[in-house]
Amino acid sequence: MVEDVRLIEVKKEILADNNQIARGVRERLRRTKTLLLNLMSSPGSGKTSLILRTVERLKSTIRIGVIEADIDSTVDAEKVAAGGIPAVQLRTGGFCHLDATMVTQGLDALNAEDLDLIIIENVGNLVCPAEFDTGAHKNVMILSVPEGDDKPLKYPLMFSICDVLLINKIDYLSLSDFDMAALRKRALVLNPNIKIIEISCKTAADIGEWIAWLKQEVDVFQMKQGGS
Amino acid sequence: MVEDVRLIEVKKEILADNNQIARGVRERLRRTKTLLLNLMSSPGSGKTSLILRTVERLKSTIRIGVIEADIDSTVDAEKVAAGGIPAVQLRTGGFCHLDATMVTQGLDALNAEDLDLIIIENVGNLVCPAEFDTGAHKNVMILSVPEGDDKPLKYPLMFSICDVLLINKIDYLSLSDFDMAALRKRALVLNPNIKIIEISCKTAADIGEWIAWLKQEVDVFQMKQGGS
């Protein structure tokens, strides 16, 4: 297990460096009153769809930008940019998560100081993105119904660090044995403060509660940083 | 980007060490005529369900064992062991993939030499498991319909290294805009030799083709290693 020990040590140092850079990101964005939100999920849970729905509903009242992460493609940034807001695509070149340095590059490319809200679409992965602080002020995860209600048992860290859990694809509930009560209980054991919202990005059902939460977070964040 | 460069260098060394251990695993299992199959997918795509269905169909004719990987739980190994075959659970302790060293520990715990087929259920993740050779003779991935048909564009390495692509949850097709022809085309561009099989682990629909492929692979593998 020599190689694992070596990896763990390097990882520990890298996480410490990353945490420091992440604190710098948060501080920088406080000064410009830009709320940074980090969106995480498995591949295909609906991150891009949620962003498109959110932009559609909020872009007339809030200045939004998007940082897309992808291993090796630019399809998501193209979709978001087609929605009429600034978007940058970071190719991670094989990395399975974003770190605060990569996010800094995204902020520079977006001219972050002119925006009220920046949404990061992290790499589709429930493991490493939970370990690397991106510098976001709020962390949000999506779990989609077809993935199953046992995910808090398997990826506890992700559920522990998120402020909001969006349960997406509730239009699949009729075909699924997903146990919503069990899921809620498992998530709340790990994180009693997590806010759980059921949505369907396909039909836009119940997206109102999510939009209201996000709008309020931006307002409160900007108020806390003092006069405009 | 200093920390990224450092991580890339360490990763390169680790991958080289891992490849050597993986070759040792394959050699060891050739001697005992034990086929090692590495099963990968996103979280919730149906790896455990597929293993349960496969064991159900094959355990009377083939001696099967299962190595389960999980960040932090033993739920999958318990389900598999309840199916009446030997199973070990490796907790990766935060690692987002299995490597050949961890697999070696699993093989030792299973008494691999007494088995015809060992199935590894890798960590639910489409990124890192594709980079780390486990020592398996065959790599299989599951993509479930709700994840979407764009996944080959986003996780090309995974599609490139697999011998078989199982498209699971085809019972969701009626509710989905999943484009099967587009998916097949995207996967075949990356990997012209990949065998694509559509299945539903929930209803056990079309699982016959998968079972036939696996049975034949075990037979051919054992034949190639010479007399019994």
More confident residue, B16 or B134: B134
Residue B175 is nearest to which of A17, A156, A175, comparing CB atoms? A175
The answer to whether B54 and B210 have CB atoms below 8 angstroms apart is yes
* Mean pLDDT on A81-96: 83
Give the per-residue pLDDT at B1. Answer: 41
Chains A & B: contacts with CB separation below 8 Å: 139
Confidence band, pLDDT 50/70/90 cuts, at residue B228? very low
Confidence at residue B2, expressed as pLDDT on a 0 to 100 scale = 42
The residue of A42, A73, A89, A179 whose CB has the most chain B CBs within 10 angstroms, and thus the best one to mutate to test that interface, is: A42
Give the separation between CA A200 and CA B146, rounded to whole angstroms: 13
CA proximity to B221, closest of B67, B56, B32: B32
pLDDT tens, position by position, B36-73: 999 999 999 999 999 999 999 999 999 999 999 877 67
Q: Do A75 and B4 touch (CB under 8 A)?
A: no
| Mean of pLDDT values over A17-24 | 94
pLDDT of residue A83: 82
pLDDT 10s digits, B69-102 = 877 677 788 888 888 889 998 877 677 889 999 9
Give me the pLDDT at residue A8, please: 61
Mean pLDDT of A23-43: 97
Determine, yes or no, domain membership for A58.
yes
Q: What is the ipTM of this complex?
A: 0.77
Digit-coded pLDDT (tens) for A148-189: 999 999 899 999 999 999 999 999 999 899 999 999 999 999
Distance, in Å, from the CA atom of A139 to the CA atom of A141, rounded to the nearest integer, reads 7
At B148, phi and psi to the nearest 5? 100, 155
Whether A18 and chain B come into contact, CB under 8 Å, resolves to yes
Collect all residues of chain A within an 8 Å Cβ-Cβ radius of residue B18: 3
The reply to whether residue A18 touches residue B3, judged by beta carbons under 8 angstroms, is yes
Say if A133 is an interface residue toward chain B (CB within 8 Å).
Answer: no
Phi-psi region of A25 (alpha: psi -120 to 50; beta: other; left: phi over 0): alpha
Mean pLDDT check: name the lowest of A77-81, B201-205, B212-216.
Answer: B201-205
For the cut 60, the answer to whether the pLDDT of residue A27 exceeds it is yes
Whether chain A has a CB inside 8 Å of the CB on B74: the answer is no
Nearest chain A CA: its distance from B157 CA (Å): 9
- Give tens-digit pLDDT for A192-223: 999 999 999 888 778 999 999 999 999 999 99
Answer yes or no: is pLDDT of B11 > 80: no
User: In this complex, which of A124, A153, A171 lies closest to B126 when CB atoms are compared?
Assistant: A124
Give the nearest partner residue to B44 out of A2, A42, A75, using CB atoms: A42
Whether residue A60 is contained in a domain is answered as yes
Tell me whether residue A15 is in a domain.
Answer: no
Q: Which pLDDT score, from 0 to 100, does residue A137 have?
A: 98
Task: Report residue B8's pLDDT band, with 50, 70 and 90 as the boundaries.
Answer: low
Positive or negative torsion for Cα B207, B210, B213, B215: negative
Q: Which of A3, A127, A156 sits opposite B96 (nearest CB)?
A: A127
Contacts of A74 in chain B (CB under 8 A): none
Q: Pick the residue with more confidence: B30 or A1?
A: B30
Q: How far apart are the first and last CA of chain B?
A: 55
Residue B115 has what pLDDT? Answer: 97
CB neighbours of residue B5 within 10 Å:
9
Residues of A numbered 106-125 whose beta carbons fall under 8 angstroms of chain B's beta carbons: which are they?
123-125
Which has the closest alpha carbon to B77: B61, B93, B66?
B66
Give the closest-approach CA distance of B156 to chain A in angstroms.
Answer: 8
Specify the number of domains making up chain A. 1
For A12, A42, A110, B127, B152, the CA distances from B88, given in Å and listed in that order, are: 28, 25, 48, 23, 31
Please tell me the predicted confidence (pLDDT) of residue A148: 95
Domain span at residue A31?
26-221
* Amino acid A228: pLDDT: 47
DSSP character string of B150-181: THHHH-HHHHHH-SEEEEE-GGGGGG----HH
Partner A, chain B 153-172, Cβ-Cβ below 8 Å:
153-157, 169, 171-172
**Would the pLDDT of A110 be above 70?**
yes
Contact A128 B171 (CB under 8 A): no
pTM score, whole prediction = 0.85
Domain containing residue A214: CATH number: 3.40.50.300
Question: Is it the case that residue B147 has pLDDT exceeding 90?
Answer: yes
